[in-house]
Amino acid sequence: MEVVIIAGRAEGGSLVGGAIEALLAARPTAVLGLATGSSPQPVYDDLVTRHQAGTVSLGRARGFQLDEYVGLPPDHPESYRAVLEREVTARLDFSPGAVTGPEGGDLDDLPAACTRYEQAIAAAGGVDVQLLGIGGDGHIGFNEPTSSLASRTRLKTLTEQTRRDNARFFDGDVDAVPRHVLTQGIGTVLEARHLVLLAWGAGKAGAVARCVEGPVTAMVPASALQLHPHVTIVVDEAAAAELTLADYYRATWQAKPASQGL
Protein backbone atom coordinates (compact mmCIF):
# COMPACT_ATOMS: atom_id res chain seq x y z
CA MET A 1 0.00 0.00 0.00
CA GLU A 2 1.48 3.30 -1.13
CA VAL A 3 0.44 6.49 0.66
CA VAL A 4 0.93 9.77 -1.21
CA ILE A 5 0.47 12.93 0.84
CA ILE A 6 -0.04 15.99 -1.34
CA ALA A 7 -0.76 19.66 -0.75
CA GLY A 8 -4.31 19.78 -2.09
CA ARG A 9 -7.04 18.28 -4.21
CA ALA A 10 -5.90 19.74 -7.52
CA GLU A 11 -2.45 18.19 -7.11
CA GLY A 12 -4.05 14.85 -6.27
CA GLY A 13 -6.32 15.05 -9.29
CA SER A 14 -3.38 15.79 -11.56
CA LEU A 15 -1.36 12.92 -10.12
CA VAL A 16 -4.08 10.35 -10.67
CA GLY A 17 -5.20 11.89 -13.96
CA GLY A 18 -1.64 11.56 -15.25
CA ALA A 19 -1.58 7.89 -14.28
CA ILE A 20 -4.85 7.29 -16.12
CA GLU A 21 -3.49 9.15 -19.16
CA ALA A 22 -0.47 6.84 -19.17
CA LEU A 23 -2.72 3.79 -18.83
CA LEU A 24 -4.91 4.87 -21.75
CA ALA A 25 -1.86 5.59 -23.91
CA ALA A 26 -0.65 2.04 -23.33
CA ARG A 27 -4.11 0.42 -23.38
CA PRO A 28 -6.83 2.54 -25.06
CA THR A 29 -9.45 -0.10 -24.19
CA ALA A 30 -8.75 0.16 -20.45
CA VAL A 31 -11.60 -0.37 -17.97
CA LEU A 32 -12.11 2.28 -15.29
CA GLY A 33 -14.03 1.87 -12.04
CA LEU A 34 -15.93 5.10 -11.44
CA ALA A 35 -16.93 6.33 -7.98
CA THR A 36 -19.18 9.29 -7.23
CA GLY A 37 -18.88 11.90 -4.49
CA SER A 38 -16.47 14.75 -3.92
CA SER A 39 -13.35 12.61 -3.43
CA PRO A 40 -12.77 11.54 -7.07
CA GLN A 41 -14.03 14.83 -8.55
CA PRO A 42 -10.53 16.37 -8.92
CA VAL A 43 -9.52 13.35 -11.01
CA TYR A 44 -12.49 13.80 -13.34
CA ASP A 45 -11.79 17.52 -13.64
CA ASP A 46 -8.17 16.79 -14.51
CA LEU A 47 -9.17 14.22 -17.14
CA VAL A 48 -11.51 16.78 -18.71
CA THR A 49 -8.63 19.26 -18.91
CA ARG A 50 -6.40 16.63 -20.51
CA HIS A 51 -9.15 15.64 -22.95
CA GLN A 52 -9.69 19.26 -23.98
CA ALA A 53 -5.92 19.56 -24.52
CA GLY A 54 -6.04 16.50 -26.78
CA THR A 55 -3.84 14.25 -24.64
CA VAL A 56 -6.55 11.88 -23.35
CA SER A 57 -9.28 9.99 -25.16
CA LEU A 58 -11.72 7.56 -23.59
CA GLY A 59 -13.41 6.74 -26.89
CA ARG A 60 -12.42 3.06 -26.63
CA ALA A 61 -12.44 2.77 -22.84
CA ARG A 62 -15.13 1.25 -20.61
CA GLY A 63 -16.41 2.39 -17.24
CA PHE A 64 -18.26 0.67 -14.39
CA GLN A 65 -20.08 2.39 -11.55
CA LEU A 66 -19.16 1.42 -8.03
CA ASP A 67 -22.72 1.57 -6.70
CA GLU A 68 -26.28 2.81 -7.21
CA TYR A 69 -29.32 3.75 -5.15
CA VAL A 70 -32.25 1.34 -5.19
CA GLY A 71 -35.62 2.82 -6.11
CA LEU A 72 -34.47 5.98 -7.88
CA PRO A 73 -35.28 6.06 -11.60
CA PRO A 74 -32.20 6.36 -13.83
CA ASP A 75 -33.12 9.92 -14.77
CA HIS A 76 -33.44 11.09 -11.15
CA PRO A 77 -30.80 13.84 -10.76
CA GLU A 78 -29.24 12.09 -7.74
CA SER A 79 -29.12 8.59 -9.18
CA TYR A 80 -25.49 7.75 -9.60
CA ARG A 81 -26.07 7.04 -13.26
CA ALA A 82 -27.25 10.65 -13.67
CA VAL A 83 -24.45 12.03 -11.49
CA LEU A 84 -21.79 10.26 -13.53
CA GLU A 85 -23.45 11.41 -16.74
CA ARG A 86 -23.22 15.05 -15.59
CA GLU A 87 -19.77 14.92 -14.04
CA VAL A 88 -17.94 12.40 -16.20
CA THR A 89 -19.58 10.91 -19.28
CA ALA A 90 -20.96 14.14 -20.75
CA ARG A 91 -17.61 15.91 -20.25
CA LEU A 92 -15.45 13.21 -21.83
CA ASP A 93 -15.62 11.18 -25.03
CA PHE A 94 -16.83 7.82 -23.76
CA SER A 95 -18.76 6.00 -26.46
CA PRO A 96 -22.53 5.67 -25.92
CA GLY A 97 -23.21 2.82 -23.52
CA ALA A 98 -19.56 2.49 -22.50
CA VAL A 99 -20.30 3.31 -18.84
CA THR A 100 -22.39 0.66 -17.09
CA GLY A 101 -24.06 0.68 -13.68
CA PRO A 102 -25.98 -1.81 -11.58
CA GLU A 103 -29.72 -1.68 -12.22
CA GLY A 104 -31.35 -0.61 -8.97
CA GLY A 105 -34.85 0.28 -10.17
CA ASP A 106 -36.72 -3.05 -10.07
CA LEU A 107 -36.88 -4.41 -6.51
CA ASP A 108 -38.05 -7.83 -7.70
CA ASP A 109 -35.04 -8.25 -9.98
CA LEU A 110 -32.20 -7.18 -7.66
CA PRO A 111 -30.43 -10.55 -7.20
CA ALA A 112 -30.44 -11.14 -10.95
CA ALA A 113 -29.30 -7.55 -11.56
CA CYS A 114 -26.33 -8.10 -9.24
CA THR A 115 -25.38 -11.30 -11.07
CA ARG A 116 -25.62 -9.57 -14.44
CA TYR A 117 -23.42 -6.77 -13.20
CA GLU A 118 -20.71 -9.13 -11.99
CA GLN A 119 -20.87 -10.92 -15.34
CA ALA A 120 -20.57 -7.63 -17.24
CA ILE A 121 -17.42 -6.67 -15.33
CA ALA A 122 -15.91 -10.10 -15.97
CA ALA A 123 -16.83 -9.98 -19.67
CA ALA A 124 -15.00 -6.63 -19.98
CA GLY A 125 -11.84 -8.27 -18.63
CA GLY A 126 -12.05 -6.77 -15.15
CA VAL A 127 -11.33 -3.25 -13.93
CA ASP A 128 -7.86 -1.78 -14.56
CA VAL A 129 -8.11 1.20 -12.18
CA GLN A 130 -10.80 1.53 -9.52
CA LEU A 131 -11.30 4.98 -8.01
CA LEU A 132 -12.54 5.00 -4.41
CA GLY A 133 -13.54 7.46 -1.74
CA ILE A 134 -13.85 6.58 1.94
CA GLY A 135 -16.62 7.26 4.43
CA GLY A 136 -15.98 8.65 7.88
CA ASP A 137 -16.73 5.18 9.26
CA GLY A 138 -14.32 3.54 6.82
CA HIS A 139 -16.82 2.31 4.24
CA ILE A 140 -15.90 1.99 0.58
CA GLY A 141 -18.59 1.97 -2.05
CA PHE A 142 -21.66 1.30 0.06
CA ASN A 143 -19.98 -1.50 1.97
CA GLU A 144 -20.95 -0.38 5.46
CA PRO A 145 -19.13 -1.59 8.62
CA THR A 146 -19.44 -5.37 9.18
CA SER A 147 -19.62 -5.99 5.42
CA SER A 148 -18.04 -9.28 4.42
CA LEU A 149 -14.52 -8.81 3.09
CA ALA A 150 -15.35 -11.44 0.45
CA SER A 151 -18.68 -9.86 -0.59
CA ARG A 152 -19.84 -9.49 -4.18
CA THR A 153 -22.23 -7.00 -5.78
CA ARG A 154 -25.37 -7.06 -3.67
CA LEU A 155 -28.17 -5.18 -1.91
CA LYS A 156 -27.15 -3.20 1.17
CA THR A 157 -29.06 -1.15 3.74
CA LEU A 158 -27.47 2.20 4.51
CA THR A 159 -26.63 3.26 8.04
CA GLU A 160 -28.39 6.35 9.33
CA GLN A 161 -25.03 8.15 9.41
CA THR A 162 -24.47 7.51 5.72
CA ARG A 163 -27.99 8.72 4.95
CA ARG A 164 -27.39 11.88 6.99
CA ASP A 165 -24.07 12.41 5.20
CA ASN A 166 -25.77 12.07 1.80
CA ALA A 167 -28.75 14.24 2.67
CA ARG A 168 -26.80 17.26 1.38
CA PHE A 169 -27.42 15.92 -2.14
CA PHE A 170 -31.18 15.76 -1.44
CA ASP A 171 -31.71 19.36 -0.29
CA GLY A 172 -30.86 18.35 3.27
CA ASP A 173 -33.83 15.96 3.51
CA VAL A 174 -32.58 12.70 5.04
CA ASP A 175 -35.99 11.10 4.41
CA ALA A 176 -35.44 11.54 0.67
CA VAL A 177 -32.22 9.49 0.75
CA PRO A 178 -32.96 5.88 -0.24
CA ARG A 179 -32.42 3.28 2.45
CA HIS A 180 -31.16 0.63 0.05
CA VAL A 181 -28.40 0.49 -2.55
CA LEU A 182 -26.63 -1.90 -4.86
CA THR A 183 -22.87 -1.87 -4.42
CA GLN A 184 -19.89 -3.76 -5.67
CA GLY A 185 -18.78 -5.94 -2.80
CA ILE A 186 -15.38 -5.72 -1.19
CA GLY A 187 -14.40 -8.95 -2.91
CA THR A 188 -15.42 -7.43 -6.24
CA VAL A 189 -13.46 -4.23 -5.58
CA LEU A 190 -10.34 -6.19 -4.64
CA GLU A 191 -10.31 -7.86 -8.07
CA ALA A 192 -9.46 -4.57 -9.80
CA ARG A 193 -5.81 -4.45 -10.84
CA HIS A 194 -5.07 -1.04 -9.28
CA LEU A 195 -7.04 0.59 -6.47
CA VAL A 196 -6.78 4.35 -5.96
CA LEU A 197 -8.40 5.76 -2.82
CA LEU A 198 -8.67 9.53 -2.48
CA ALA A 199 -9.52 11.45 0.70
CA TRP A 200 -9.56 15.15 1.54
CA GLY A 201 -9.98 17.06 4.77
CA ALA A 202 -9.69 16.49 8.49
CA GLY A 203 -13.04 14.71 8.60
CA LYS A 204 -11.49 11.74 6.82
CA ALA A 205 -8.28 11.57 8.89
CA GLY A 206 -9.48 8.93 11.34
CA ALA A 207 -10.89 6.69 8.61
CA VAL A 208 -7.69 7.00 6.55
CA ALA A 209 -5.55 6.05 9.53
CA ARG A 210 -7.70 3.00 10.31
CA CYS A 211 -7.68 1.98 6.65
CA VAL A 212 -3.90 2.21 6.27
CA GLU A 213 -2.47 1.44 9.71
CA GLY A 214 -5.22 -0.33 11.61
CA PRO A 215 -6.05 -4.03 11.66
CA VAL A 216 -7.88 -5.61 8.74
CA THR A 217 -11.43 -5.80 10.02
CA ALA A 218 -14.97 -5.80 8.68
CA MET A 219 -15.67 -2.92 11.07
CA VAL A 220 -13.48 -0.79 8.77
CA PRO A 221 -14.26 -2.11 5.28
CA ALA A 222 -11.52 0.01 3.65
CA SER A 223 -8.90 -1.84 5.72
CA ALA A 224 -9.37 -4.75 3.30
CA LEU A 225 -7.31 -2.73 0.83
CA GLN A 226 -4.26 -3.82 2.83
CA LEU A 227 -4.75 -7.25 1.23
CA HIS A 228 -4.38 -5.94 -2.34
CA PRO A 229 -1.01 -5.93 -4.16
CA HIS A 230 -1.39 -2.51 -5.82
CA VAL A 231 -3.12 0.21 -3.79
CA THR A 232 -2.46 3.95 -3.90
CA ILE A 233 -3.84 6.17 -1.15
CA VAL A 234 -3.84 9.85 -2.17
CA VAL A 235 -4.60 12.27 0.67
CA ASP A 236 -4.06 15.91 1.53
CA GLU A 237 -2.27 17.02 4.69
CA ALA A 238 -5.49 17.30 6.69
CA ALA A 239 -6.62 13.77 5.81
CA ALA A 240 -3.12 12.48 6.66
CA ALA A 241 -3.10 14.11 10.11
CA GLU A 242 -3.64 10.89 12.09
CA LEU A 243 -1.17 8.69 10.18
CA THR A 244 1.56 7.51 12.54
CA LEU A 245 4.06 6.95 9.72
CA ALA A 246 3.29 10.09 7.73
CA ASP A 247 6.94 11.16 7.57
CA TYR A 248 7.89 7.74 6.24
CA TYR A 249 5.24 7.93 3.53
CA ARG A 250 6.53 11.35 2.47
CA ALA A 251 10.11 10.08 2.34
CA THR A 252 9.28 6.97 0.32
CA TRP A 253 7.23 8.98 -2.17
CA GLN A 254 10.04 11.49 -2.64
CA ALA A 255 12.55 8.68 -3.16
CA LYS A 256 10.39 6.66 -5.56
CA PRO A 257 11.94 6.15 -9.01
CA ALA A 258 9.92 8.02 -11.62
CA SER A 259 9.99 4.95 -13.86
CA GLN A 260 7.70 3.10 -11.44
CA GLY A 261 4.76 5.44 -12.03
CA LEU A 262 1.81 5.49 -9.66
User: Three-state DSSP class for 107?
Assistant: helix
Q: Is 139 a catalytic residue?
A: yes
Which whole-number Å values give the CA distances from 175 to 68, 69, 156, 172, 184, in the listed order?
Answer: 17, 14, 17, 9, 24
Say whether 67 is catalytic.
Answer: yes
Whether 230 is a known active-site residue: answer no
Q: Which of 46, 67, 68, 87 is catalytic?
A: 67
Marked catalytic residue, from 46, 87, 103, 137: 137
Do 90 and 47 contact (CB within 8 A), yes or no?
Answer: no
CA 152 → CA 33, 34, 114, 123, 191, distances in Å?
A: 15, 17, 8, 16, 10
Q: Is 68 a catalytic residue?
A: no
Residues in Cβ contact with 50 at an 8 Å cutoff, skipping those fewer than 6 apart: 17, 21, 56
Active-site hit among 51, 139, 165, 236: 139
CA 3 to mean position of chain CA atoms: 16
Distance CA 238, CA 184 (A): 28
**Candidate list 103, 118, 144, 165, residue with the active-site label:** 144
Residues designated catalytic: 67, 137, 139, 144
